[in-house]
């Protein structure tokens, strides 16, 4: 094949593709090069756990502990809720599917709050003002911690939002849902996996 007969736009397209791949590779390398501070802290505390306990972000792992500030100024930790089932939902105000499911998440919070089920809606990369304004405008009552730098989504290995972790009374991840909930029935089906 004669290389001089390849149109210029194909060469430009190839160059753009190669540059894009290089940028993605460098970004991925930087993202995975060092654990975030929250992950380092969690791994450090995991050394105190018995040898058969695995702290991680997969089903069957003990969910990593964390401490975040909520939109109403409280400091909360996942360990505060040990003994209760926790629905840990990652969302953002700029995320269309997240906005779609907030009414479902709120309905679950209202229906299950008196049954030892806690909903923690971790707002990621938004900021306190934006998350608080959205919560007020939509009358959200579930607890909303804010993770501005996104350390917790890296700790939990979240690749897209919304993502929801179902954490049982012992702190074990029982189920993971990637994508929005369509109805409360769908959430309740997953809650049946609490063990």
The number of C-alpha atoms within 13 Å of 180 and in the hemisphere containing its C-beta is: 14
pLDDT band at 75; cut points 50, 70, 90: very high
The token pair at 17 is 């593709």
Sort strands 163-167 and 146-147 into parallel, antiparallel or unpaired. unpaired
Q: Kindly tell me if the per-residue pLDDT of 17 is higher than 80.
A: no
Which pLDDT belongs to residue 193?
A: 77
37-191 to CATH, choices 1.10.1060.10, 3.90.1150.10, 3.40.630.10, 3.40.30.10: 3.40.30.10
pLDDT more than 90, % of the chain: 59
Q: In what order do the strands lie in the sheet with 146-147?
A: 146-147, 117-124, 85-91, 163-167, 173-178
pTM of the shown model: 0.74
pLDDT band at 189; cut points 50, 70, 90: confident
Which pLDDT belongs to residue 41?
A: 40
- Alpha-carbon distance values, 114 to 75, 85, 128, 135, 152 (Å): 22, 11, 27, 21, 27
The pLDDT tens digits of the residues spanning 111-137 come to 998 888 999 999 998 999 999 999 999
Average pLDDT over residues 14-19: 69
Average pLDDT over residues 146-172: 94
Q: Which residue has the higher pLDDT, 116 or 40?
A: 116
The domain ranges of the chain are 7-33, 37-191
Rounded to whole angstroms, how far apart are CA atoms 83 and 15?
55
Please state, as a whole number, how many other Cβ atoms lie within 10 Å of the Cβ of residue 155: 24
């Amino acid at each position: 094949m004669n290389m001089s007969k390849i149109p210029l736009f194909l060469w430009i397209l190839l160059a753009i593709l190669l540059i894009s791949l290089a940028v993605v590779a460098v970004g991925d390398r930087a993202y995975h090069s060092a654990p975030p501070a929250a992950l380092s802290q969690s791994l450090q505390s995991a050394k105190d756990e018995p040898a058969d306990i695995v702290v991680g972000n997969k089903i069957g792992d003990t969910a990593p502990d964390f401490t975040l500030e909520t939109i109403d100024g409280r400091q909360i930790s996942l360990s505060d809720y040990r003994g209760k089932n926790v629905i840990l939902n990652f969302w953002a105000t700029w995320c269309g599917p997240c906005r779609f499911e907030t009414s479902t998440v709120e309905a679950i919070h209202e229906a299950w709050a008196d049954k030892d089920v806690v909903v923690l809606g971790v707002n990621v990369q938004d900021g306190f003002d934006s998350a608080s304004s959205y919560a007020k405008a939509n009358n959200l009552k579930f607890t909303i911690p804010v993770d501005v730098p996104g350390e917790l989504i890296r700790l939990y290995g979240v690749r897209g939002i919304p993502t929801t972790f179902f954490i049982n009374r012992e702190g074990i991840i029982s189920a993971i849902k990637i994508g929005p909930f369509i109805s409360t029935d769908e959430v309740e089906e997953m809650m049946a996996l609490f063990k």
